[in-house]
Amino acid sequence: MKIPARLQNLVAEGLIDGVVRQLKSGKEADVYVVRCGDETCAAKVYKEAHKRSFRQAVDYTENRKVRNSRQARAMAKGTAFGRQQQEAAWQSAEVDALRRLAAVGVRVPRPGNFLDGVLLMELVTDAHGDAAPRLNDLDFSAEDAERHHATLIDEVVRMLCAGVIHGDLSEFNILLAADGPVIIDLPQAVDAAGNNHAPRMLLRDVDNLRSFFGRYAPALLPTQYGPEIWSLYAGGLLAPGMPLSGRYEPQLGAVDLSGVLREIEDARLEEAARLQRMAG
């Protein structure tokens, strides 16, 4: 196929040898299958801000670090330089998150070179060597749903212990590789310790997993892994691989995380109803 303009620099630099096909067109990036020597990789080409449907919401970017005070001032003022730096920071957030998470064994694509708004990374494949499908394209038995849910809850815990919350986790950005689920799409990754919205986002991520897999395994629907995980994290007790019960009882005087979770669910249902009304 014809090499897209955004990938031509990588060809010129010798980082990729050819483009096989487009794999996905998403809200913040397009993904291509490319050849890198003897290896087949994925190339994620980030869209410019005005072409994206996913905006750099302040909830996600709160307390993200920048290189120096000049950049911070320019970003705050919204100057042309500031917008350029904000865009660069948005793109590099995913690269930083992937490297950080891969280093501690979280199931994410292995990141490679990052140049001119293009990230080269591992191509996640299924048992046949083809590009792995997203969860939303598949159906599951109750047993498989419970197994994959347990795997992903463990990954959410491992991410949180590394100080990272996905922030937009759902069946649309989890691939099912030959050896299990792999989490993708992290440009909106949140700093768990430095973002005031972190508890809400963690609860929403876990709630999305519960709602999706609960379609196939109804026994998951009453579980309260989100509040349990955050409570353990806030108390300094959370550790990768630790057993969880899926139950949560708020302590006297503590924030009722179950109530927060219910509010999130109410808001989700209200938004779904609004979209349905608009579509009608």
pTM: 0.79
In sequence order, which residues have a C-beta less than 8 Å from that of residue 134 and are 6 or more positions away?
171, 172, 173, 174, 175, 176
Spell out the domains of the chain, with CATH numbers in brackets.
Answer: 12-122 (3.30.200.20), 135-279 (1.10.510.10)
Among candidate residues 60, 228, 263, the one with its CA nearest the CA of residue 156: 228
Q: What angle do CA 223, 224, 225 make, to 5 degrees?
A: 105
What was the pLDDT predicted at 123? 97
Contact (Cβ atoms closer than 8 angstroms) between residue 92 and residue 114: yes
- The answer to whether 13 touches 6, Cβ cutoff 8 Å, is no
> Could you tell me the mean pLDDT of each successive run of 10 residues in the chain, 280 residues long?
87 93 88 95 83 47 50 48 54 88 97 92 95 97 98 98 96 97 93 90 96 98 96 95 92 60 60 60
Relative to beta strand 29-36, strand 164-165 is unpaired
- How far is it, in rounded angstroms, from Cα 169 to Cα 149? 13
pLDDT at residue 57, rounded to an integer: 52
Single-letter code of the amino acid located at 258 = S
Residues 6+ apart with CB under 8 A from 4: 19, 30, 32, 45
pLDDT at residue 82, as a whole number: 46
Q: Report the amino acid identity of residue 17.
A: D
The H-assigned helical ranges of the chain are 5-12, 58-61, 69-77, 80-103, 142-161, 198-214, 225-234, 257-279
Q: How many CB atoms lie within 10 A of CB 174?
A: 25
Instruction: In whole angstroms, give the CA distance from residue 150 to residue 107.
Output: 13
- At 256 the pLDDT is 57
Query: What pLDDT sits at residue 45?
Result: 94
